[in-house]
Every structure is written in structure tokens, then in C-alpha cells.
């Protein structure tokens, strides 16, 4: 294609948007509105994801040793646990640490522990074990238990990781993720439908123009190009408006929750992380939808 | 130039629009197609600019066999045929100049040439001074002249005019006919369907009469031949 022809197509595409003022406005608005709803759900899903990851990440294995396990044995077991591939980190928790922790958990009622000091501490030594993947927690726990099989003293007394709680949590977070995905997909399809309909109306309003172009000997490719540019530009503009509004709104939400929900352990996904993922997806999607809608609609009018 | 051999056209709803039509129109001829409404005049015109294909028979224009033409070749055949309609078919949001230039942009002519030829065409139809007017700001006759400028701007060898004076008053109609005659004089074949008795009788060109889809008369320097 000659450069002058290409620039003509771009010029005509832009002119097309301006000339069909109200129809373009309708298309751009419907793209913006649909993508905005989509964007809100994407942000929600991202944050739910982040939240569930944080909750899952807190899942930890606690290993308790038999009382009176000697120091060398403890060090040996720690090494063995570290060698398990799923294990990310092992922290030794002495019985003194255990007692302090228990006091903190009990809070005001911590006084029931008075009298239990270093000498007669009833708690065992142990480890806190973190895994790389929350989902591997069960496997890792089994492997730690299995360490007893090769140990004549059976030094590991108990391995706990709140089996039922963890499984329940995974079920819930999985459900939230799946529901979010379904809603996002559903909205994407709805947005596509809305947009292609309004672009089809734009083109239907211009079937006369297309007919005249054909009459004076325009090739189908030549007829398609300006509509292609127009569709892409319509989608892009709508998406850009959405991204600007969405990001401004999200920044506001982050700012206000910093104070209102300051006590919550949960932190929203920061803006700079979201701009590229959500913003980029929306712009790309909007442009693609615009192109797709216009291509589809023009093809219908080119058949003779 | 334009040749139809045993051409039949039946529409999907069963209407027989043309039957056994044989016509040869030579280069530089001026031909009137006359006949009652619904006799097949428009179908005849549509076959020439490949809006329709014959059900049976052969039609060739400028050496192209239109019945066997691949769809992607159609645009190239149309570039050599200018078409004019009763309802002008201008793009309402483009100026007179843009409407004419449009036909050249479509064939990807260089911009400088587009400017030169568009102005020449507008000058020929006498509308150079209204180049920047929108169709709505022009009279019917002026709009038809813009349409003629658009039809001739690519220098086609044939102009197909389907009742070009149908919406115009007698005086304006004559202006349009003078213009077409001038274009014909410069070497363009003109095929024009019309109901205008005065024009046909006055101009004394070849007349082809179509009734019930058949050619019933084909005479040089002919007359309209119908009472209404």
C-alpha cells in the first residue's frame, strides 16, 4: 500500500468518527462503560487474589519434638527438615519461646501460666516451618513426620498444620477465584457484544457510502481500511477513558482505605502494579473489540 | 465495446427481467434505452456495470466477460464505467469537490493528479465556483452535474445513466443532456435509460426499446415511440 493511501485511510477513519458524532459517541460510551465494569471486576479479583494469597501464605507447619531431645539431635532434625524440597524456611522455637508465645496468646489470662518458668516448663522444643507453596503444606508435613521412620528415638512428637482449617481455606479461596474469573469472562463477552452492535449500527448508517464506493470501483480492502482504523480508534478511545477514570478512582480508594482500614492486615494491590496489568489489558481489549466489531460489520455490507 | 449475446435474467423470486437479449453497442455511441416501467431497462443497465450477472448468455464490456468475472476483479471493471442515477447518489456530508475527488481517491490516484482532474471535471460541468458547497446547498440540476463530474473524472470509456433527468425540470434536464452530449462528443460511450419523450425525439440518437424483457425495437436516429 502506498503511504499516501495509508495516510488517507487514517485520515478518513478519524474523519469518520467526527462526522458520525453521535454514533461514535454511543460506541465510545458503550465501550467505556462495559470496560469500566470489567475493570472494576478485574481490580476486585486481583485484590481478592492478593488477599487469599496472603491468608494462604500465613499457613505454617508446627513441629513439636519429644521432651528432652538433646541439642545435637535438634540440630540434626533441623538440617533434615531444611533438606525437604518444599520447605522454604525453618525457625527453631525453644520451649521458652513457646511459653512466651502462649502467654501472649492468652493475654490477660496469661496468669494461669504463672509458676511455670524455665525449670518446670511443660512445653516441648519445636520448629516453625514455612513452605514455598501453600498448597504443598500437606506433602511437606507428611515428609516431616516420615523423618521419625529413620530415627530410633522417634524424636518428633507431633506435626501440626491445622489440616481442616487449611483445606477449608483453600476451598473458599478457590471458589472466590473461579467466580471472579467467570464474572470477568462474562463481562468481556457482554462488552464485545455491545460494542459490535453499536459499530454495526454506525456502519449500517453508512451502507450508502459503501455502496457508492463500490460503484466507483473501490476494492473491498480499500473500503475496509478506514472502518478498520475507525473501529480501532473508537475502541482505543473508549478504553483510554475507562483506564483514566478507573485508575483515578482506584488511587482514591487506596488513599482513603489507608486511613479507614489502617488496622487491617490486608493491603490493596498498589496502583503502579495495576496500571500495566489492568490498564494494558483494557486498552488492548478495547482496541481489539473495536477492530473486531468493525471488521465483522463491514464484511456483511461488502457482499454483492 | 458492449456486447450482449442471448442474455437472460431471472431474479430469485421468479421474475423474468430480460429474455434473449442481443445487443452490440460500439465505441462512442449514444444510446437511449426506452420502454414502460418494469420492462427491464434498469436490469439491462445493472448488467452493464456488473451490479447483476446474467442467468444465461454472455455479456462483455471493454473486453471483460462480466458473467465470468471474479468478484475481486469487479472494481477494476467499474473504474472504466461511470454511473449516473436519478437520485444523484452523492455523499451528503462531502462537498462537491470531495464527492468528485472521492472517485479518484478510491482508485489510489496521486494527490496532485486528483486535484487537477477534479477541478477539470467540475469546470466541465460548470460548477467550479461551487466546489466547496455541500449537496444540500445545491439545486437538483447542480447535484446531478456533480454526479456527472464524479462519473467522468476517471475518464471512463462508458457512462451508464439510469434516468438522469427523472427528478429534474425540463430546462435543467436539457442542461444535463447538453453536458452528456459534450461528453459523448469527447469520445465516451453513453447508455441512457429514460422516460423523457421530448429529449429522445429531439436528440435523434440510437433508440433501443425494451418491453417485457425483450428488445422490441432498435433504430438509429430513433424516436421515443410511446404516447406517455
Is residue A192 located within the same domain as residue A121? no
Domain boundary residue among A120, A138, A160?
A: A160
Contacts of A220 in chain B (CB under 8 A): 72, 75
Domain shared by A73 and A134, yes or no = yes
Contact B102 A2 (CB under 8 A): no
Nearest-CB residue to A216 (from B106, B108, B110): B106
Is some CB atom of chain A closer than 8 A to the CB atom of B113?
A: no
Strand order in the sheet with B30-34: B81-85, B158-162, B189-193, B30-34, B206-211, B214-219
Would you call B51 an interface residue with chain A, using a CB distance cutoff of 8 Å? Answer: yes
Q: Is the same domain home to A179 and A286? A: yes
Question: Over chain B, what is the mean pLDDT?
Answer: 93
Is pLDDT above 50 for A220?
yes
CA distance B219 to chain A (A): 30
Asked whether the beta carbons of residue A212 and residue B89 sit closer than 8 angstroms, the reply is yes
Q: Do B49 and A5 count as a contact with CB atoms less than 8 A apart?
A: no
Interface contact flag, A8 B154, Cβ < 8 Å: no
Q: How far apart are CA A138 and CA A224, in angstroms?
A: 58
Crossing angle of the two packed helices A280-302 and A163-205, in degrees rounded to 10: 40
Last residue of a domain, which of A121, A139, A160? A160
- Considering only CB atoms, A212 lies closest to which of B79, B91, B105, namely B91
Q: Which residues of chain B does A4 touch, with a Cβ-Cβ cutoff of 8 Å?
A: 110-111
Confidence at residue A303, expressed as pLDDT on a 0 to 100 scale: 63
Residues of A in contact with B75 (CB under 8 A): 214, 217-220, 222
The answer on pLDDT for B75 being more than 70 is yes
- Read off the pLDDT band of A259 (50, 70, 90): low
Evaluate whether B48 touches B160 at the Cβ level (below 8 Å): yes
Answer for the pair A210, A298: CB distance below 8 angstroms, yes or no.
yes
**pLDDT confidence of residue A15:** 80
* Domain co-membership, A8 together with A66: no
Residue A35 and residue A92 in one domain: no
Cell of A50: 492478593
Residue that terminates a domain, selected from A137, A160, A183 = A160
A214 and B91 within 8 Å at the Cβ level: the answer is no
Confidence band for A118, pLDDT divided at 50, 70 and 90 = low
Q: Which residue is it, cell 475481486? A: B72
**Rounded-to-integer distance, Cα B92 and Cα A207, Å:** 13
Prediction ipTM score: 0.85
**pLDDT 10s digits, A75-92:** 888 888 888 888 888 888
Do A99 and A183 share a structural domain? no
Distance of alpha carbon B216 from alpha carbon A159, whole angstroms: 106
Distance from the A199 Cα atom to the nearest Cα atom in chain B, whole angstroms = 19
Instruction: Give me the pLDDT at residue A291, please.
Output: 85
A18 CB within 8 Å of a chain B CB: no
Q: Is A234 in contact with A31 (CB distance < 8 Å)?
A: yes
Identify from A1, A6, A205, A216 which residue to disrupt to test chain B contact, counting B C-beta atoms within 10 A and taking the largest count. A216
A304 pLDDT higher than 50 = no
Provide CATH code, domain B27-52+81-219.
3.40.50.300
Residue-wise pLDDT tens digits, B77-131: 999 999 999 999 998 888 999 999 989 988 888 889 999 999 999 999 999 999 9
In tens, the pLDDT along B32-57 reads: 999 999 899 999 999 999 999 999 99
Same structural domain for residues A18 and A88?
no
Q: Are residues A279 and A187 in the same domain?
A: yes
Q: Is the pLDDT score of A125 beyond 70?
A: yes
pLDDT tens-place string over residues A150-166:
777 777 888 887 666 76
Question: Does A172 share its domain with A26?
Answer: yes
CB contact under 8 A, B89 and A2: no
CATH number at residue A131: 3.30.70.3040
pLDDT tops 60 at residue A276: yes
Residues A51 and A64 placed together within one structural domain of the fold: no
Determine whether the interchain pair B91/A220 forms a contact, defined as Cβ–Cβ distance below 8 Å. no
pLDDT of residue A213: 86
Q: Searching chain A, which residue's CA lies closest to the CA of residue B156? A: A216
What would the mean pLDDT of A55-72 be, rounded to a whole number? Answer: 79
Domain of residue A48 covers: 3-55+168-302
**Any CB–CB contact under 8 A between A4 and chain B?**
yes
Same-domain pairing of A239 and A269 = yes
Domain count, chain A: 2
Query: Is residue A209 less than 8 Å (CB to CB) from chain B?
Result: yes
Angle between helices B140-152 and B96-105 (to 10 degrees): 20
Q: How far apart are CA A49 and CA A51, in angstroms?
A: 5
**Which of B75, B77, B104, B114 is the best mutation test for A, with the most CBs of A within 10 A?**
B75
B residues 66-95 lying closer than 8 A (beta carbon) to A:
71-72, 74-79, 83, 89, 91, 93
Range with the poorest average pLDDT among A50-59, A60-69, A275-284, B159-168: A50-59
Test A208 with B91 for CB contact under 8 angstroms.
yes
DSSP B156: -
Domain co-membership, A142 together with A244:
no
Cβ–Cβ gap A208/B75 under 8 Å? no
Query: pLDDT at residue B164 above 70?
Result: yes
Amino acid at each position: 500500500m502506498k503511504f499516501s493511501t495509508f495516510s488517507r485511510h487514517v485520515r478518513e477513519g478519524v474523519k469518520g468518527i467526527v462526522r458520525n458524532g453521535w454514533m461514535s459517541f454511543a460506541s465510545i460510551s458503550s465501550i467505556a462503560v462495559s470496560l469500566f465494569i470489567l475493570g472494576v471486576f478485574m481490580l476486585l479479583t486481583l485484590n481478592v487474589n492478593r488477599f487469599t494469597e496472603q491468608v494462604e501464605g500465613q499457613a505454617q507447619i508446627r513441629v513439636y519434638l519429644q521432651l528432652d531431645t538433646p541439642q545435637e539431635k535438634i540440630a540434626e532434625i533441623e538440617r533434615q527438615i531444611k533438606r525437604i524440597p518444599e520447605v522454604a524456611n525453618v525457625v527453631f522455637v525453644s520451649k521458652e519461646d513457646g511459653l512466651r508465645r502462649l502467654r501472649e496468646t492468652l493475654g490477660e489470662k496469661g496468669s494461669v501460666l504463672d509458676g511455670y518458668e524455665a525449670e518446670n516448663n511443660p512445653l516441648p522444643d519445636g520448629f516453625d516451618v514455612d513452605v514455598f507453596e501453600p498448597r504443598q503444606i500437606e506433602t511437606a508435613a507428611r515428609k516431616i513426620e516420615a523423618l521419625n521412620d529413620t530415627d530410633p528415638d522417634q524424636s518428633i512428637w507431633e506435626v501440626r498444620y491445622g489440616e481442616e482449617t487449611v483445606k477449608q481455606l483453600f476451598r473458599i479461596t478457590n471458589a472466590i477465584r473461579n467466580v471472579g474469573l467467570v464474572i470477568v469472562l462474562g463481562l468481556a463477552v457482554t462488552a464485545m457484544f455491545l460494542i459490535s452492535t453499536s459499530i454495526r449500527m454506525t456502519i449500517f448508517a453508512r451502507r450508502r457510502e459503501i455502496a457508492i464506493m463500490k460503484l466507483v470501483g473501490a476494492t473491498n480492502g480499500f473500503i475496509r481500511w478506514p472502518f478498520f482504523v475507525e473501529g480501532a480508534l473508537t475502541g482505543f478511545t473508549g478504553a483510554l477513558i475507562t483506564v483514566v477514570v478507573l485508575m483515578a478512582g482506584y488511587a482514591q480508594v487506596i488513599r482513603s482505605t489507608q486511613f479507614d482500614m489502617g488496622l487491617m492486615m490486608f493491603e490493596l494491590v498498589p496502583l503502579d502494579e495495576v496500571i500495566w496489568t489492568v490498564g494494558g489489558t483494557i486498552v488492548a481489549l478495547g482496541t481489539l473489540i473495536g477492530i473486531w466489531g468493525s471488521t465483522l460489520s463491514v464484511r456483511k455490507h461488502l457482499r454483492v | 465495446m458492449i456486447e450482449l449475446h442471448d442474455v437472460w435474467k431471472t431474479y430469485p423470486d421468479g421474475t423474468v427481467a430480460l429474455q434473449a437479449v442481443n445487443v452490440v453497442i460500439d465505441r462512442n455511441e449514444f444510446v437511449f434505452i426506452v420502454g414502460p416501467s418494469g420492462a427491464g431497462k434498469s436490469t439491462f443497465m445493472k448488467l452493464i456495470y456488473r451490479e447483476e450477472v446474467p442467468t444465461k448468455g454472455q455479456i462483455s464490456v471493454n473486453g471483460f466477460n462480466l458473467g465470468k468475472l471474479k468478484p475481486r476483479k469487479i472494481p477494476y471493471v467499474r473504474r472504466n464505467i461511470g454511473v449516473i442515477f436519478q437520485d444523484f447518489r452523492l455523499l451528503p456530508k462531502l462537498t462537491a469537490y470531495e464527492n468528485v475527488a472521492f472517485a479518484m481517491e478510491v482508485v489510489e490516484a496521486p494527490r496532485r493528479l486528483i486535484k487537477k482532474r477534479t477541478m477539470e471535471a467540475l469546470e466541465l460541468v460548470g460548477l467550479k465556483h461551487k466546489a466547496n458547497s455541500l449537496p444540500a446547498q445545491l439545486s437538483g440540476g447542480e447535484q446531478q452535474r456533480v454526479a456527472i463530474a464524479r462519473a467522468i473524472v476517471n475518464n471512463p470509456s462508458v457512462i451508464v445513466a439510469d434516468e438522469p433527468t427523472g427528478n429534474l425540470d425540463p430546462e435543467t434536464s436539457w442542461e444535463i443532456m447538453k453536458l452528456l452530449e459534450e461528453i459523448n462528443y469527447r469520445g465516451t460511450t453513453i447508455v441512457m435509460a429514460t422516460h423523457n419523450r421530448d429529449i429522445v425525439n429531439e436528440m435523434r440518437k440510437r433508440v433501443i426499446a425494451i418491453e417485457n424483457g425483450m428488445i422490441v425495437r432498435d433504430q438509429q436516429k430513433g424516436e421515443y415511440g410511446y404516447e406517455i
